[in-house]
Amino acid sequence: MPTTIGASRAGFGVPPKRTLSYQLSSTFALPVSNKPTKMRNCLLAFLPVILFCVGCACPQGDRYAALYELSATPMSEAKWNNLIGNYSGPIRSHVHTWMGTTGIKSEEVALSLRGTAMHPKIYLKIRGSYSTAWTGLGSQDDVYTNIARLEYGAKVPLEVTTHAPNVLVVEIPKRIYIMRFACPGTIEVDELGINGWRGTGRLLRIPDFPCPVSGLSRAMDE
């Protein structure tokens, strides 16, 4: 009964002879798993979320860089007294990150200033609209203040500081406004937002607050 060479060698405990092509394919073949591990599944499932978080966090490094350049000394009281009043104007913002996050925003801002340079009082009203890759069209109508009598219906927290010689910093959730009083009756605004939002604007001094607020003047002057 005829037998093959492989069978006879296997009968004596010797593995069958392998061809050169088989040995090369076995040596250089990449391992393929038909059953991915749970770790691999978790990484693949959360990979978009991880990339999104990294993309959002990358622009944050320079968000506070502009604040480090400001003077630690508050604005002088004489300077602040000349700036007290009401202001209004537009702020235009945009965002563009390497993750593909894009958007534009337009705001109409009304600002009332009172108090002292060490303890400034402000009433800030922001009304605007925005459009991003994630949101087709959105709108906002918010009020921020650090006056206790006017906090009902307003958003908190709100931090306000002055810096010599002519800078007012207003920090609200997700945004920081650096306001420079460069010319009499004019405020140049730089907006620093989260996720890479950046904006600029100009507020002009006006006689009265543009939006009627009950008890605003009395609360600001207390």
For residues 39 and 154, the model is more confident at 154
pLDDT in the model for residue 90: 96
pLDDT digits over 197-218, tens only?
889 999 999 998 877 676 677 7
DSSP tally for the chain: helices H, then strands E: 6, 9
C-alpha–C-alpha distance, residues 196 and 78, integer Å: 36
pLDDT digits over 20-76, tens only?
554 545 554 445 554 556 666 666 665 555 555 544 444 454 566 778 889 999 999
Question: Does pLDDT of 99 surpass 60?
Answer: no
Rg (CA), the chain: 32
Domains of the chain (ranges plus CATH)? 62-221 (2.40.128)
Strands 186-193 and 175-180, bridge-based pairing: antiparallel
Type of residue numbered 31: P
Rounded to the nearest 5°, which phi and psi values hold at 72? -80, -10
Q: What is the mean pLDDT of residues 132-142?
A: 81
For residues 11 and 128, the model is more confident at 128
For residues 219 and 26, the model is more confident at 219
Question: Does pLDDT of 10 surpass 50?
Answer: no
CA 102 to each of CA 64, 73, 86, 143, 197: distance values in angstroms, whole numbers, following the listed order? 21, 37, 33, 26, 9
Q: What is the mean pLDDT of residues 92-106?
A: 77
Other beta carbons less than 10 A from residue 35's beta carbon: 5
Task: Report the predicted TM-score, pTM, of the whole model to 2 decimal places.
Answer: 0.69
The answer to whether 105 and 200 have CB atoms below 8 angstroms apart is no
Q: What is the mean pLDDT of residues 162-191?
A: 93
Out of 1-5, 113-117, 126-130, 167-171, pick the least confident. Answer: 1-5
The rounded mean pLDDT for the chain is: 77
pLDDT in the model for residue 158: 86
pLDDT in the model for residue 7: 46
